[in-house]
Copies of this chain bind each other. A is one copy, B any other.
């Protein structure tokens, strides 16, 4: 295993940071890696917000399902799927572009997340931990106000960075589901109830929990994640963002 593969395998989310700042040089390297990521037609369909204002960090911590560690993170970056900027470029050249559509949004979300993951990998190589905040999709109205988002600009990913505490370094990386459960050859294969059970049992064994109870775990996990208030809020909020792309004129 080469050094890159070793670091990708070792990287895990870090939510508790030491007081050590992320230097300007480190931030530049992290951002440069994001820019260096592949991008559809080299269009860089994202705008990155570098959140330096402590009051705004605190506001984001609140809007993102009340996670205080965001407020104290040394570096906070919001990756916006920006379906506005190129249309403004076209307008500056005297063109009248079509409205952005749902395909433009999906492409821009992909571009933004691909860039974000390069930032994560770059940070890891510098000994800087990171954590994605999926909740950035929530609270559309308040998020738009907090970040001054115009129409057709949608938060795709938020990342917080900082140097991991010793306790965070020692924390084991969560086990993944088996490869044969995630990968299908050629076409999509429905997995069976027995297949689901076997995959989660294998993951639990790898995590040192051989007494795993599938039914009980799924019930608790569903209540905590999928049927939770934050999850329903995420879809409500996303539906509002999507309305900008329904005006698409084909």
Identify which of B97, B184, B250 contacts A232 (C-beta below 8 A): B250
Counting chain B CB atoms within 10 Å of each CB, the highest count among A4, A105, A134 belongs to A4
Counting chain B CB atoms within 10 Å of each CB, the highest count among A33, A124, A225 belongs to A33
| Closest B residue to A174 using CB positions | B42
Identify which of B37, B93, B134 contacts A107 (C-beta below 8 A): B134
A183 contacts the other chain (CB 8 A): yes
A205 contacts the other chain (CB 8 A): no
A3 contacts the other chain (CB 8 A): yes
For chain A residues 163-192, which have a beta carbon within 8 Å of chain B?
Answer: 173-174, 176-177, 179, 182-191
Q: Are B132 and A114 in contact (CB under 8 A)?
A: yes
For chain A residues 110-135, which have a beta carbon within 8 Å of chain B?
Answer: 110, 113-114, 116-118, 120-122, 124-126, 130-132, 134
A235 contacts the other chain (CB 8 A): yes
Q: Are B38 and A215 in contact (CB under 8 A)?
A: no
Q: Are A121 and B118 in contact (CB under 8 A)?
A: yes
Q: Are B234 and A104 in contact (CB under 8 A)?
A: yes
Q: Are B185 and A52 in contact (CB under 8 A)?
A: yes
Known contacts A5-B29, A8-B33; A110/B107 CB under 8 A? no
A239 to B91, CA, bound (A): 25
Q: Are A236 and B222 in contact (CB under 8 A)?
A: no
Q: Are B101 and A186 in contact (CB under 8 A)?
A: no
A174 to B40, CA, bound (A): 12
- One digit per residue, 1 when the CB lies within 8 angstroms of any chain B CB and 0 when it does not, for chain A 195-216 equals 0110010000000000000110
Q: Are B250 and A183 in contact (CB under 8 A)?
A: no
Q: Are A121 and B238 in contact (CB under 8 A)?
A: no
Q: Are B196 and A236 in contact (CB under 8 A)?
A: no
A235 to B100, CA, bound (A): 8
Known contacts A132-B38, A193-B92, A196-B92; A2/B218 CB under 8 A? no
Identify which of B105, B121, B125, B218 contacts A95 (C-beta below 8 A): B218
Q: Are B125 and A176 in contact (CB under 8 A)?
A: no
Across the interface, which residues of B come within 8 angstroms of A200, CB to CB? Answer: 89
A157 contacts the other chain (CB 8 A): yes
Closest 7 CB pairs of A and B: A101-B235, A103-B234, A103-B235, A93-B218, A4-B125, A102-B238, A92-B193
Can you sample 27 A-B contacts with CB below 8 Å? A2-B126, A4-B125, A5-B126, A8-B36, A35-B177, A35-B182, A36-B176, A38-B132, A42-B174, A44-B182, A48-B184, A50-B183, A52-B185, A56-B186, A91-B193, A94-B215, A101-B234, A101-B238, A102-B238, A102-B239, A103-B137, A103-B236, A109-B109, A110-B132, A110-B156, A147-B188, A235-B250
